[in-house]
Structure 1
Amino acid sequence: MVLNYIWAGFFLIAFVFALFQLIVTGDHEIFSKLVNSTFEMSKTGFEIALFLTGILSLWMGLLKVGEKAGAIDQLAKLVSPFFTRIFPGIPKNHPAMGSMIMNFSANMLGIDNAATPMGLRAMEQMQSLNPKKDTASNAQIMFLVLNTSGLTLIPFSIMVYRAEMGAANPSDIFIPILLATGISTISGLIIVSIYQKINLLDRVVMLYLGCLVALIAGAIFVFSQMEQSQVEKVSLVLSNVILFSVIVLFIGMAMYRKVNAYEAFIEGAKGGFEIAVKIIPYLVAILVAIGVFRASGAMEALLGFIASGFHYIGWDAEFVKALPTGLMRPLSGSGARGLMLEAMDTYGADSLAGRMVSVMQGATDTTLYVVAVYFGSVNIRKTRYAITCGLFADFVGVIAAVFISYLFFG
């Protein structure tokens, strides 16, 4: 229901803003912009799904190899004590647990292309346990919100963008992003646990969370000891070595256990195309709505209103320059990326605004996109409180990014 109101609201607000510009300012091109935006974003939605088809087929095939080789079961056993407490609706050692830990691991390494197929596989496996197929289960909501919080240990892509935009030290946002994304993830976990009455003070939960915090702290310590120029190189090598090692591990275990890895891969890869086709309508729907909202000028008007408010009360409004990225981040990943690059180009990659948009981009993931892709892949229409909690985690992540940026760079 929440997604229905958000989706319809984008179109209605866009229409009102466009009508105002047509009547008051005499902008006769505004409705052409809106219509052109619907065509462009429809094309974008299809292109994203088309791009995902190959990636999904690859990783769905590899996951099937890992599943038949027993690697997924071993991963499930590793995280079972923790996951059975925050995902109480999933049986112990269920295959979904292995898929989820692989998804979270890929996200933490900043490997989005690998994380999405793993997440879709986990969502599909959880759907088999869902008694109401059109309604998101508690486990699916928890998984989605933890994904939208975007926990990332190695924000490689953002460092690459900063290097391209002329930053003196592209990796200087590494520790701020770790802190911001950690705060976002914890806030998402807490808000969903409140809804689902999950006890986060359980000893096992606290132990696993403590290990996660120690891992983040260790990453901060290790990378902080390196020269800035080394961080980007090490993170790139580390991410790709780990990723390819997982592929080799799956295939190696399959060969050891005399599993026909090739046939298993083909079997799993067939599902990638089916999922890609399923998510096209959901992607087109949400991307077109966001596109007309931006094309109407509503986003610019909202930002101007916020900036005026802070100027009026005498607060430092420097962070308002970064707000377009922060506000767009929950709505559109490509839109937020474009606004991030625009801010760095306008104000400089090493300006406060340039660094702040980088931290915002790494602090969270795109809630509405994740909802459209993940829930759309299993035909879930009733999202319950998933979007509310996802947007809350995004909001906390953006606010954290603002304060942390002032702390490190202000």
Structure 2
Amino acid sequence: MVLNYIWIAFFLIAFVVALMRLVFLGDTQVFPEIINSTFSSSKTAFEISLGLTGVLSLWLGIMRIGEQGGVIALFSRLLGPLFSKLFPDIPKGHPVTGSIFMNLAANMLGLDNAATPLGLKAMEGLQELNPKKDTASNPMIMFLVLNTSGLTLIPISIMVYRAQLGAAQPTDIFVPILLATFFSTLAGIVAVSIYQRINLFNRTILFFLGGMSLLVAGIIYFFNTLSRNQIDIYSTTFANVFLFLIIIGFIVAGIRKKINVYDSFVEGAKEGFNTAVRIIPYLV
């Protein structure tokens, strides 16, 4: 309902302001500019969706192989002890925990193109569990905070962009991004846990937070021993090898389960295409 009022307000406020500019300032171009901007925004929304279509189709196709191959269920079981504390409303062993893990893993590796479709897949799964379809559930809020805070262990995408734009040292942002995203994620977990009354002093959560702290410290220590060129090479190689290993692992799991891997991929890819189409109205 709130979004309904916000959406209506966009148009009413724009009309009132434009009318005042026309009447009091004699700005005869204001209404043509507004109308042109609506067409431009609609075109941009479609272009964004079109750009996501291929990525969504690829990764949701891979995810479908993982689901039918049992990998997502395995992730769900492994993450059950932790996620049952951070996401108490998600049933134990539910496949959506695997999707959440895949999204967070892609974010940690700075693989934005992979993280986006995986995040949409996870949010769709959470919406299916949501008893109030017009209100964000507690698991959706926690996931959104974790996704937005974006703990990034290896900011490969940003380093690539910096290199393409001619930065003298593309890897300069490695440690600052690692520290910033670690503390933003920690702050997000604490804030949401307090609001949702999640016990942060549970041994599982403390073990997780302590383990993540040690991992971050270890990564900083390791990369501080490398030259800037080595940081670029190591981070790029590791992130992409890890991502490709996930794809290979899903395919091998599908073969072991004796499923038709290609048909599973196509089935998931179709879902990715449909997802890209469904988000167009919200982007507009």
Specify if TM > 0.5: yes
Q: Does 1:76 align with 2:79?
A: no
Specify the code of the residue in structure 1 equivalent to 2:122.
Answer: A
**Contact 2:110–2:153 under 8 Å retained in 1:** yes
- Partner-residue secondary structure (3-state), 2:129: coil
> C-alpha root-mean-square deviation of aligned residues, in Å?
2.2
Specify the code of the residue in structure 2 equivalent to 1:230.
Answer: Q
1:344-401 residue CA offsets vs partner (Å, 9 max, x unmatched)? xxxxxxxxxxxxxxxxxxxxxxxxxxxxxxxxxxxxxxxxxxxxxxxxxxxxxxxxxx
> In the alignment, which residue of structure 1 is the partner of 2:164?
164
Structure 2 runs not aligned, ≥5 long? none
Q: In the aligned structure 1, how far is the partner of 2:33 from the partner of 2:12? A: 15
**Contact 2:64–2:265 under 8 Å retained in 1:** yes
Q: 1:5 to 1:187 in 2, by over 3 A?
A: farther
Specify the code of the residue in structure 2 equivalent to 1:259.
Answer: I
Q: In the aligned structure 1, how far is the partner of 2:7 from the partner of 2:187? A: 25
State the TM-score, normalizing by the size of structure 1.
0.64
> In the alignment, which residue of structure 1 is the partner of 2:270?
270
1:8-28 residue CA offsets vs partner (Å, 9 max, x unmatched)? 555566556656665676654
**Contact 2:89–2:139 under 8 Å retained in 1:** yes
- Partner-residue secondary structure (3-state), 1:247: helix
> In the alignment, which residue of structure 2 is the partner of 1:124?
124
CA shift, 1:237, in A, is 1.6
- Partner-residue secondary structure (3-state), 1:128: helix
Specify the code of the residue in structure 2 equivalent to 1:234.
Answer: Y
> In the alignment, which residue of structure 2 is the partner of 1:240?
240
Q: After superposition, where does 1:210-249 map in structure 2 within 5 Å?
A: 210-249=210-249
Q: 1:149 to 1:23 in 2, by over 3 A?
A: farther
- Partner-residue secondary structure (3-state), 1:91: coil
Q: Percent identity?
A: 58
CA shift, 1:33, in A, is 3.4
Specify the code of the residue in structure 2 equivalent to 1:278.
Answer: R
> In the alignment, which residue of structure 1 is the partner of 2:136?
136
> In the alignment, which residue of structure 1 is the partner of 2:198?
198
Aligned residues: 284
- Partner-residue secondary structure (3-state), 1:226: coil
Q: Does 1:52 align with 2:52?
A: yes
Q: Which moved more, 1:22-31 or 1:149-158?
A: 22-31
> In the alignment, which residue of structure 1 is the partner of 2:260?
260
Q: In the aligned structure 2, how far is the partner of 1:23 from the partner of 1:180? A: 48
Q: 1:12 to 1:216 in 2, by over 3 A?
A: farther
Q: Does 1:64 align with 2:59?
A: no
State the TM-score, normalizing by the size of structure 2.
0.90
Structure 1 runs not aligned, ≥5 long? 285-410
Q: In the aligned structure 2, how far is the partner of 1:201 from the partner of 1:71? A: 30
Specify the code of the residue in structure 2 equivalent to 1:226.
Answer: L
Q: 1:229 to 1:204 in 2, by over 3 A?
A: same
Q: In the aligned structure 1, how far is the partner of 2:159 from the partner of 2:109? A: 13
Q: In the aligned structure 1, how far is the partner of 2:10 from the partner of 2:179? A: 32
Specify the code of the residue in structure 1 equivalent to 2:144.
Answer: L
Specify the code of the residue in structure 1 equivalent to 2:134.
Answer: D
Q: Which moved more, 1:249-258 or 1:188-197?
A: 188-197
Q: 1:18 to 1:138 in 2, by over 3 A?
A: same
Q: In the aligned structure 1, how far is the partner of 2:260 from the partner of 2:276? A: 26
**Contact 2:112–2:157 under 8 Å retained in 1:** no
1:151-208 residue CA offsets vs partner (Å, 9 max, x unmatched)? 2222222223323333221211111111111222222222222221111121111111
Q: In the aligned structure 2, how far is the partner of 1:10 from the partner of 1:108? A: 36
> In the alignment, which residue of structure 2 is the partner of 1:90?
90
CA shift, 1:4, in A, is 4.4
Q: In the aligned structure 2, how far is the partner of 1:19 from the partner of 1:215? A: 57
**Contact 2:66–2:250 under 8 Å retained in 1:** yes
- Partner-residue secondary structure (3-state), 2:132: coil
